[in-house]
Every structure is written in C-alpha cells, then in structure tokens.
Structure 1
Amino acid sequence: MNYFGIGMRYNDIMELDHWLRRRIRMCYLKQWGWARKRIGELIKLGSPKYQAILTGLSRKGYWHLAKTYATNCGLSKQYLKNQGLVSLRTLWIRIHYPA
C-alpha cells in the first residue's frame, strides 16, 4: 500500500482484492493443466470429490473455473494466506484505522 493505495476507497480495495485472489486461483488451475491433475489437486486441497470432478472435467476457461465452488473450497482464502498472500483489505484497514 504505497502513496496512491492510501487514497483508494474501501470498495475499490475489496474489488481489487477479490480480483487478485481469483487471478491467483486461475494461475493454479493453469499450472495444473490436465484434468486428472486438476481433480487430484482439488481433492487433495479439501474440495468435495464430486465438485472437484465436475470442475476438473469442465471445458470452460480457466477464468470461469477460478470462481467455481470446488476451486474456492480448495484454494480458500486461508490456504492462499498460508501460501503468503497478503490481503489488501487487511492492509487498507491497518493504514486507515491504526490501533
């Protein structure tokens, strides 16, 4: 959160934070590539088996699959946080409302 990030509205930060998480989920799906690998990784990350199979076998684009139930269960906010993703919302609140 640099100089211009301080002046952004809360709604803009939330929208950007949502877009960033979806983009990262899309990159994970793209990295896994083939359907079998996607299904296995989603199940390993805790997605329901049936939903993981539906998502893994889907012919939709990566951007569309990044917002499916199975992807959001497996690559949850908590998982991304554990991987090192810093929430823009948390940073914005820390800057605007210091405790």
Structure 2
Amino acid sequence: MQQAQKLKTITRKTTPMSFEERIQKLAEVQRGWVNNFRMASMLVKLQDVDGWIRNRLRYCIWHHWKKLERKRKNLIRLGVEQGQAYAWSRSRMGGWAIAQSPILGTTITLDRLKKRGYESMLDIYKKISPQLNEPLYTRPVRTVV
C-alpha cells in the first residue's frame, strides 16, 4: 500500500479508533516514511503534508464531537466566546470546510495536537536527516606539503 494511502486510511473520520490510537499509528507510518526518504531534500513537501494531516486530524475531532451542543461546549472549552461557538457549532458548512476554517485552526492548534501526542513529519525529518545533522565539512583536512 502506498504511504499516502496509509495516511489517508489512518486519518479517515470513519475509521473506528480512538484519537490516541490514531496518533500512534500515524507516528509509525510517518517515521517509516521519513526514514525511507531521509536522504532527499523535502522540507517544503513535508510542510504541505503536515498541514494536510493536521486538517484531517481536526476533521476527525470535529466529526467525533457529533452533536451540536457538544461542538458548542467543546469550542467554549477551547476558548471561543459563546456567541461564536454557537454560530460555528450550527454552521451548515461541511466538516472538511470547518476543519480548514479559522475557528478550528486557532482552537485545535499544533501545540494542542502535540500535547495529545502528535509529532509532525517535519520535526521527525529535522531529527534524522543527515543533511541537517552533519557538520558542513566532514572530510578531514589534509595539509599539502
């Protein structure tokens, strides 16, 4: 199975698993993918994929809340004022549009996802990439006599 397809399957809103289990499986696939391509220069690509994965996770969270009242209460718990929380919880926009909206982008932030165990592919890549971790000059310098 292709790596992107694995990421899609794990982050699908209808895949029956807890958020912690989803994060754990996602981490396994991400580590494997980054280890496989660690020699390549792929910072920009990983930023794009990370943004997409974060939106998929926000969509899973939004879908998991299900009911309007639960959405409203959770938005209030995340720091949204009551009127806005009421309006967004009853929005007729689809879940994917809500996941990309400013309301979930500012409440379910990267820091909050990290607290739940999410590690971005870019962070993993920065830890293990040889281009980023090796000193600039690795060959021993030889004096010419």
TM-score above 0.5: yes
Contact 1:51 1:69 in 2 (8 A): no
Deviates more, 1:71-80 or 1:46-55: 46-55
CA separation in 2, counterparts of 1:49 and 1:39? 8
The verdict on how the C-alpha distance between 1:21 and 1:75 changes in structure 2, with shifts beyond 3 A counting, is same
Letter paired with 2:79: G
The percentage of aligned residue pairs carrying the same residue is: 25
The verdict on how the C-alpha distance between 1:5 and 1:22 changes in structure 2, with shifts beyond 3 A counting, is farther
After superposition, where does 1:69-80 map in structure 2 within 5 Å?
69-80=102-113
Aligned to 1:33: 66
> How far apart are 1:65 and its partner, in Å?
0.2
Bigger radius of gyration among the two: 2
> How far apart are 1:79 and its partner, in Å?
0.5
Give ranges in structure 1 of 5+ residues lacking alignment. Answer: none
Q: Secondary structure at the match of 2:64?
A: helix
Structure that is richer in helix per residue: 1
Q: Secondary structure at the match of 2:49?
A: helix
> How far apart are 1:30 and its partner, in Å?
0.2
Deviation per CA, 1:45-95, whole angstroms, max 9, x where unpaired?
223333322221101111000012221222111100000000111112222
Give the TM-score normalised by structure 2: 0.62
Give the TM-score normalised by structure 1: 0.87
CA separation in 2, counterparts of 1:47 and 1:67? 16
Q: Which has the higher contact order (CA 8 A, sep 6+)?
A: 1
Give ranges in structure 2 of 5+ residues lacking alignment. Answer: 1-33, 135-145
> How many residue pairs are counted as aligned between the two chains?
99
